[in-house]
Amino acid sequence: MPSGSLSARDHRKGGRHPRLNADSGRYRYGELTWPEVKEAAQAGRVAVVPIATIEDHGPHLPIDTDLRLCNAVCEEAASRARDRAVVVPAINHGYSPHHLDFPGAISIGAHTLIDYGVDVCRSLAHHGFRKILIVNGHGSNTPFVDVVARLAVVETGVLAAAVNYWAAPGVRAVAESLRESDRIGGMNHACEFETSLYLAIAPELVDMSKAVRELSHRPTENYWTDLIAGDGPLVMMEPWSALSQTGVMGDPTKATAEKGRALLDAAAGGIVTLIDELRARPPAQRKDHH
Ligand SMILES: [Zn+2]
């Protein structure tokens, strides 16, 4: 998208690290050579680690939805902040055992996910990255990426943080301004929000003729769920097949590519804000009071 292209001003900003990006402008970790990785770490660039999952997203969206959307947001963010961030190849698989009644879901265990995430952070810390931002694209990974970030801090001494991309600063306001689906539940899973993003990223893979509105997760007094409006205080997850007939939770019939472009822009901008906030944070001064 045009907003991702580098302006002349961005180029000048990049000039503060003249060794780095003047020639390549590369922001994908996997496309760097090892000397470039070393330079990126020494320049204090933030390592952005996308993490998602593979699971059913209704009859109209591919099972890679969480992964593709999260990658797109992180790629766009790192592209905009290419002088101060790199995007690491994503952790593709996540915690989705409650989705296994639907064909397609690939779930890894909670401990596997935590160990995997911490190992990735440990490797990045070993190469000299001092700031790591884990960007999650799958709701049920949330408690685990929190733990991954905490463990990475404890075990490596670097600053690791985690965020769900839909909770990045600015996204909620944009999503609520665009929302035509139900205030609670309309933006949840394979919904107005995710379908709009997919339409903006790869419309040829979306079959809107099969999009259906489904709001059957049975909210009660303290239990409800919505990606953007937030969840109720009672946190629980029943088998997805008990919550949805189609795999959809929300209203994808209200999705448009135009909304998706606005959401992608907001999410990428929000991640850039977090990259800069992390970069600006001074190293923690630990003091042992024994
Ligand atoms: Zn999803």
> pLDDT grade, residue 3 (50/70/90)?
very low
Residue 40: C-alpha distances to residues 13, 83, 85, 128, 183 (Å)? 15, 9, 8, 9, 43
193-209: pLDDT as tens digits = 999 999 999 999 999 99
Output the pTM of the full model. Answer: 0.91
Ligand 1 centroid distance, CA of 139 (Å): 7
Alpha helices in the chain (DSSP H): 8-14, 34-42, 65-80, 110-126, 142-156, 171-178, 192-201, 240-243, 257-280
| Signed CA dihedral, 37, 38, 39, 45: sign only | positive
Ligand 1 centroid distance, CA of 138 (Å): 6
Mean pLDDT of 256-281: 98
Tokens 């902040």 -> residue: 81
Ligand 1 centroid distance, CA of 184 (Å): 16
Mean pLDDT of 90-103: 97
Ligand 1 centroid distance, CA of 243 (Å): 15
Cα 156 to Cα 149: distance, rounded to the nearest angstrom: 10
Ligand 1 centroid distance, CA of 64 (Å): 9
Residue type, 253: T
Mean pLDDT of 127-147: 98
